[in-house]
Amino acid sequence: MKICEFLSPERIVLDIVCRDKAESLQNAARLLAVSGVASDWQALYDGMAAREALMSTGVGNGIGIPHASGPFVIAPSAALLRLLSPVDFEAIDRRPVDLLIAVAVPEGDQRTHLSLLAGIARLCKNPQFLSAVHKAKDPGKLFNRIRNLEKEMAFH
């Protein structure tokens, strides 16, 4: 599953200031809610925080993939946040996180949820993706680069 099907330039924020993990999750939840894919940012944040309490979604290499589902999610979606300064995310490699790819999925849509997480994990293994994210200066151009990378990856 391609992240571009669930991401938009409006849900890409570059160099956002977050003091800690909680603030980064709050910003991700707000971004998704403001874009209209979640009706209640607080409920989305609570869902992400509850998931983090079970086990960190810091997957290593400076990447966090917080996610939640619930009746407050209107449509499956993703948001990308590049943090100005890394924050402790209790990641598996113990490195701080400076890239969040947040996922919100309607309650009961486990298939989309898992497929989207798998697609993000695959994309995050691509060094060209990480380079593009870290060098990006414009959300729209970054979105187009991600879309092109996913097209290239589909042929390999």
DSSP reduced 3-state for 12: strand
> What are the backbone angles phi and psi of residue 7, rounded to the nearest 5°?
-110, 160
Separation of alpha carbons 38 and 84, rounded Å: 25
Q: Angle formed by the axes of helices 41-54 and 21-34, to 10°?
A: 140
For 14: left if phi > 0, alpha if psi spans -120 to 50, otherwise beta; the answer is beta
Residues labelled as active-site residues: 67
